[in-house]
Amino acid sequence: MRKLTFLAALAAATAISSPAMAGSADGKLQVKLLGTGVLPDGEITEFYTDLVGLPADTQTKANDNVVPTVAIEYFFSPNFSIETICCVTQHDVDGTTGLPGAELVSNARIIPATFTAKYHLTTGGPFKPYVGAGPTYFIVFDEKPGAAAVGLGADDLKMSSELGFALQAGADFALGENGFGISIDAKKYFVDTKARWFAGGTEVIATKHKLDPWVLSAGVSYRF
């Protein structure tokens, strides 16, 4: 999936450099190359199964990550657009109370497939703030039991891919009339996942986790 992200970024860079695609501050299509901080929650909100006997106050937190992101946006009018993003982020989940510092999930990768409808405010200048909202589907893969979970006897882990919702706000700043610009963006996601640990094929722990990440981005844009 990292290769997919790289290819998307390469395609975007090719589009930016192509002389056939003349840049314009009012173009229909905009491509963004962003650095993105992904700050998830990871809190347990429900216990379904506990054959291990976890401490009663067991709670968890997912670690933060910084990844490259490609965003592609189509403008139906100066004020309305639809945007999608491409990125892959990777996270561990560790205990905070009950099992403080214990690694329970290792290297879970997530593709936050997201589409947002955006409204751009008219300012009469190069600074154009916007707000947006839309559905997301978190695709989880390559998840593994963490070292502490393995120590408790777990030999497999499954985390559910789930549908959620995202709210968005940000701003684009045009650098002249040639299509180049700078962008900042903040998204708040609302999405959960169910984590199930297995030992010898038997489900020994099952929990529901609130992911709900903040996703904060900044980078360059090209509109044509």
Query: CA 156, 114, 128: angle at the middle one, nearest 5?
Result: 145
Q: How many CA atoms lie within 13 A of 62 on its CB side?
A: 27
pLDDT band at 31 (very low <50, low <70, confident <90, very high): very high
pLDDT of residue 210: 97
pLDDT of residue 21: 60
Which amino acid, one-letter code, is at 181?
G
Query: What is the DSSP-derived secondary structure letter of residue 63?
Result: P
Per residue in 173-222, pLDDT (tens digit) is 999 899 999 999 999 999 999 999 999 999 999 999 999 999 999 999 99
Does the pLDDT value for residue 113 go beyond 60?
Answer: yes
Over its C-alpha atoms, the chain yields an Rg (Å, rounded) of: 20
Domain spans, the chain: 2-223
Domain covering 2-223: architecture: Beta Barrel (2.40)
In the predicted model, what is the mean pLDDT of the chain?
A: 91
To the nearest 5 percent, what fractions of the chain are helix, strand and coil?
10, 60, 30
- CA quadruple 76, 81, 82, 87: dihedral sign: positive
Alpha helices by DSSP H, 82-170: 147-151
Does the pLDDT value for residue 142 go beyond 60?
Answer: yes
Per residue in 43-89, pLDDT (tens digit) is 999 999 999 999 999 999 999 999 999 999 999 999 999 999 999 99
On whether the CB atoms of residues 208 and 44 are closer than 8 A, the answer is: yes
